[in-house]
Amino acid sequence: VQLQASGGGLVQAGGSLRLSCAASGNIFDIIRMGWYRQAPGKQRELVAVATNDNTINYTDSVKGRFTISRDNTKNTVYLEMNSLKPEDTAVYYCHARIATIGRERSVYWGQGTLVTVSS
């Protein structure tokens, strides 16, 4: 199983970006899929996650600004980020808990994608 993330970049404060992450491989079920981020000198934190029973959670600092969505037909999760702030600057990591066709459940990480918000 692989996670391929895309969509990071440089944006001015108040701007928007959309991150995408597609899962591929020996997938039976994507139990949960979402995004973490890690800013310089800080611990990695959960940003948003969507489960296969349609439960969605956001960290408080992005509520009302970020929207996570899943396209289960494409095994893809999106993160629409609006009203970006300099403090959103971080490397964003796609994360998924996946059951393979052999019913093994594991956690997978995509490569990070850098989001830089200038003031």
Cα–Cα distance, 21 to 32 (Å, whole number):
13
7: pLDDT confidence band, cut at 50, 70 and 90? very high
pLDDT digits (tens, 9 = 90+) for 36-68: 999 999 999 999 999 999 999 999 999 999 999
CA-CA-CA-CA dihedral for 110, 43, 69, 66, to nearest 10: -140
Examine the pLDDT at 102 and tell me if it is beyond 90.
Answer: no
Encoding tokens for residue 77? Answer: 């999760």
- Mean pLDDT across the chain, nearest whole number? 96
Cα dihedral across residues 117, 48, 17, 24: positive or negative: positive
Cα–Cα distance, 54 to 70 (Å, whole number):
9
Examine the pLDDT at 4 and tell me if it is beyond 90.
Answer: yes
